[in-house]
Every structure is written in C-alpha cells, then in structure tokens.
Structure 1
Amino acid sequence: MTIFIKTPDEIEKMRVAGRLTSEVLDMITDYVKVGVTTDELDRICHNYIVNVQQAIPAPLNYKGFPKSICTSVNYQVCHGIPSNKKLKDGDIINIDVTVIKDGYHGDSSRMFMVGKPNVRAKRIIDISYECLWIGIKQVKAGISLKEIGRAIENHAKSKKCSIVHEYCGHGIGRAFHEKPQVLHYYSAKEDDVILQPGMTFTIEPMINLGKRHVKLLPDKWTVVTKDHKLSAQWEHTILVTEKGAEVMTLAPYEKQ
C-alpha cells in the first residue's frame, strides 16, 4: 500500500483547494430552497468553480460521472446525480463538492435542510455531524487508522443508527482517491495503518436512520438505503499533524 506523505509545498496547495471547496459550499447555501432543482444547484456550482475560482470540478467526467457535484436527497446515501427534480419542503440534501486547484484536490460535503424538515430528519443530520467530528478528534500521528472507525461506530450505535459499510473515506491529494481507505466502522480484517504527519484523507461517515444496507440504482452511481429510511453524511479533508488534525475544508461556522 503506497500512502503519499505530502511535502510542505503540497500541503499548502491542498490548503488552497480545501478552502475553495468550502467556499463553494458557502456560496450554494442560499440557493438550497423549495422549488430549486438539483440540476440548477449543479450549474451554479460549476460556473462558480470554473469562472470565479478558476478551478476544476473533479466529479465532472470522473469515471463517466456526468455532473460537477453530487446531490443526494433524503434516502439517497451518496453519489446522487443532479437532475430536473425539484426540492420539496421537508427534504434533506447532501451536496458533495470536490475542487482541483493547481493539481491538488479538496473534498467536502454538507447536509442542508429544505424548508422545515421533521424531527427525524434533523436528528439524522445532527448525529451524522457528531460522527464526523468524533472521527476527526481521533486523528493524530501515531494512532491506528482503525480507531477513527471504532469511535464513529460506537457513537452511531449509541444513537440507534447504522453505518454504511460499502463506501468509505479515502486518501486524497494529487489524485481524487488515494490510499488508505478510511472505514467508518471497526474491522479487524483491515490492515493496520499508523497515522503519520503529512497524510491527507477524507472522513465522511454515511449514517442511516434504518438499517445499514444499501443498493445501487440503474444509473450506476446513485446509492440508496434499501429500506428507504433517511441517510445523512458530512465530509471533510483532513491533514495529520504532529499534534492532531488540521481540517483543510473547515466551514466558517466551525471551530477546530
């Protein structure tokens, strides 16, 4: 397994890509409302990334993906393809943005509430956000990567929620997806990876209100919960430092 340890120059480039990614999510926030289509959200993000940031939307044409962002609504778990379907009052949506700037990637996603979601919707959004940060708080040089998944899994189970196993976080840098895989649950079968300063990867737990099982739709991208219960996900790009984690895609309302 080749895990790339980033140089100071590479880290600085990733900080820029991470900041731009966060800024796209900041920008799109006011557009997420009842009646907008996810196609329109995709168009706005694409134009902002290309024309304002002078950057590249990584998902576009990645292994054939047809759009510039992923939009996953309600029981869609991840990789939802933007379409002409309008958002309704009470929907929840994950918007996943990856920006390439000067050859390096920043990757982040956030949950948004449309109109007035019900109590269950707010609950799964809150729990998934807690899981993200519990995972981030484990990160520091010298610990096993498995401890991130263990901590996330313990919290989700304590809240009577389940964790999707089929999709995980990943190393990131010059490539969209690098080693290692970052599981959001504990697996004794996985190789033990010890975190080192300069490693960069995403943490992006997908948390379901119902059972963990998912299925892939015929479009070969959109993943949904088998029981059609709500799912929520947040994602950040993380740098391992000597003292802990640096969140490279931090939002303005977040504190490390």
Structure 2
Amino acid sequence: MKLKNKSEIALMREAGLLLWKAHMIAAEMVEPGVTTEAIDAEVEKFILGNNATPLFKGVPGKVPFPATCCISVNEEVVHGIPSSRQLIAGDIVSIDIGLKIKGWCADCACSHGVDGLDDEKRALLDVTEECLRIAIKDIRPGEKWSKIAKKMAKHARNAGFSVVEELVGHGIGESMWELPQIPNYFSHNCEDFRIKQGMVLAVEPMINAGVKEVQTLDDHWTIVTADRRPSAHFEHTIAVTAAGAQVMTCGPNGEGWALR
C-alpha cells in the first residue's frame, strides 16, 4: 500500500471528476427502453474521447471482461455485462465505471431507479447510499476501519437488508486494485487496519434485499443474489486527508448523484 501525496491526490481528483462526468452521461440515459449496451457505448466514447482508459475492459478472467461499464440490473449485484437487454420501469440498474488518466485511477458506482421504484427497492437504494455516506463521514486518520464497517453493516441490517460479504472494496491509485481490502461488515475473519493520511480507498457497499449470499452466472462475470431478490451498489473513490475524507469522484462543487 502506497500513501499518496498532495500532488498525487490532485491527479486522482482529475480522474475522479472525469469519472463523475461519465456517470452523469450514464444517468441521463437511464429510462425505459434503453439497452445497457447503449449506455456502455456512450460512456466508452466519452472516456476515450478524453484521452482516458477504461479500467474494466479486458480485465482477465475465464473470459476477459468485454465492456467499459459493469451494468447490473435488479438481482445482479455487480459485474453485469452490458447487452441488448432493455431497461423497464421499476428496474434497479447499478452502473460501475472505472477509468485511468495521467497514470491514476478512479472507480465509482451508482444504483438508479428506472421510472419509479416500489417501496422496497427505493428503501434499498436509500439505505445503500446511506451506508456509503456513513463511511465518508467517519473516515479520518487514526480511525480503525472495523469501527466504520460495523456501523455500515448495522445500518443495513436494521433496515431489514443484508450485506454482501464475498465482495469488498479496495485501495486504489496507480492500479485499480491496491491494498487494503475494505469490507462493508466486520467479523473475526476480516483483517482490520487503521486509516492513514494519504490512503485512497474505493468504498463500495453492496446491499441485498434478501440473503447475503451471491452466485456467479455462467458468463463467468455477473454476480447475482442467491435468492434472486434485488441488490444495490454505491461506490466512491475517497482520499484520506488530515481533515478527513475527500471524495474524488464527485462533481466540481461536491455534488454526487443528483440525477438518481
């Protein structure tokens, strides 16, 4: 794990701002009848047009990941592959995008409701985003991650939801995946760490309406809830400064997902 200095964090903020703009393009397209591959194509065009590199496309696996965005619908938790599938009213669509520019990475995800959600899905989105905001509020030098993770998990469980335990956040910098691993819950099996100034963390709560267990589909990428109930996913890239958390993947005035 490499701690970042002020100039490196400034470069990561540039990457994060560009990624926020990519998310705004995606968010404006979320409506019934739009295909997930159409969203992916527009985001890829924007990223490449700004001399940046999509981080997810070509990631190694049994099959290399084929797209710029991970777009996951309803029971799909993460790593959904964009396709000709059309969004319909009432869907949750989670869009995860990563990019690299000037040698530095940014990673961000947001779940959207398509043309109105039922009460359970709306609550799921709200609670998942609130879990991320809990982390942002409490991130500061010297704090133990376990304390924050326990608060996030408690908030989700108190709402009647479950926390995905098989997938976690991560450090980020010149590489998309760096140490430490950042779970959204905490147990004796988790490795704790104390937050330090200069860390940059991709914090990404993944919360399920039903059970916490997940499965991988035959495409080798798409991860779904075991009971096929809905899931939501929010993520920011966050730098740790002397004053606390600095969100890298927000708008120029600190705005987040205004179009959600």
1:14 aligns to what? 12
- Alignment-derived partner of residue 167 in structure 1: 167
Contact kept, 8 Å, 2:58 with 2:67, in 1: the verdict is: yes
1:233 pairs with 2:230: no
Taking only aligned residues, the RMSD between alpha carbons, in angstroms, comes to 1.3
Matched-pair contact (CA < 8 Å) for 1:138–1:147: no
Matched, 1:45 2:43: yes
Give the equivalent residue in structure 1 for 2:151.
Answer: 151
The aligned counterpart of 2:79 is: 79
**TM-score (normalised: structure 2):** 0.94
Which residue does 2:192 correspond to in 1? 192
Contact 2:183 2:190 survives alignment (8 Å):
no
CA distance in 1, matches of 2:90, 2:232: 14
Identity %: 37
Deviation at 1:236, TM superposition (A): 0.2
Q: CA deviation at 1:7?
A: 2.0
Counterpart AA for 2:133: W
- CA distance in structure 2 between the aligned counterparts of 1:189 and 1:211, rounded to whole angstroms: 19
Give the conservation status (yes or no) of the 8 Å contact 1:171–1:201. Answer: yes
Amino acid at match of 2:55: A
User: In 2, distance between residues paired with 1:191 and 1:114?
Assistant: 37
Q: 2 CA distance for matches of 1:190 and 1:242?
A: 26
In the other structure, the counterpart of 1:212 is 212
Distance 2:6 2:116 in 1: 44
Contact 1:169 1:181 in 2 (8 A): yes
3-state SS, counterpart of residue 90 of structure 1: coil
Contact residue 164 and residue 208 of structure 2 kept, 8 A: yes
Match of 1:60? Answer: 57
* SS in structure 1 at match of 2:220: coil
**Residue pair 2:96, 2:108 contacting (<8 A) in 1 also:** yes
Tell me which residue corresponds to 1:136: 136
What is the distance in 1 between the residues matched to 2:90 and 2:119? 10
Residue 190 (structure 1) shift: 2.7
Q: Distance in 2 between matches of 1:4 and 1:218?
A: 36
CA distance in 2, matches of 1:243, 1:114: 37
Which residues of 2 match residues 105-116 of structure 1 at below 5 A?
105-116=105-116
C-alpha separation in 2, matches of 1:189 and 1:239: 26
Q: Secondary structure, in 3 states, of the residue corresponding to 2:46?
A: helix
Secondary structure of the corresponding residue to residue 133 of structure 1: helix
Give the letter for the 2:14 counterpart: V
Shift of 1:148: 2.1
Is the CA contact (8 Å cut-off) linking 2:33 and 2:88 kept in structure 1? yes
- CA-CA distance at 1:120 after TM superposition: 1.3
**Match of residue 36 from structure 1:** 34
Partners in 2 of 1:147 and 1:193 — Cα distance? 10
Aligned to 1:69: 69
In 1, Cα distance between equivalents of 2:228 and 2:256: 31
- Once residues 190 and 227 of structure 1 are traced to their aligned partners in structure 2, the CA distance between those partners, rounded to angstroms, is 25
Q: Distance in 2 between matches of 1:79 and 1:37?
A: 16
In the alignment, residue 136 of structure 1 is paired with which amino acid? I
**2:15/2:106 contact within 8 Å kept:** yes
Inter-partner Cα distance in structure 2 for 1:90 and 1:159: 21
- Cα distance between partner residues in 2 of 1:187 and 1:98: 29
Stretches of 4+ aligned residues off by more than 6 angstroms: none
Structure 2: unaligned runs, 5 residues or longer: none
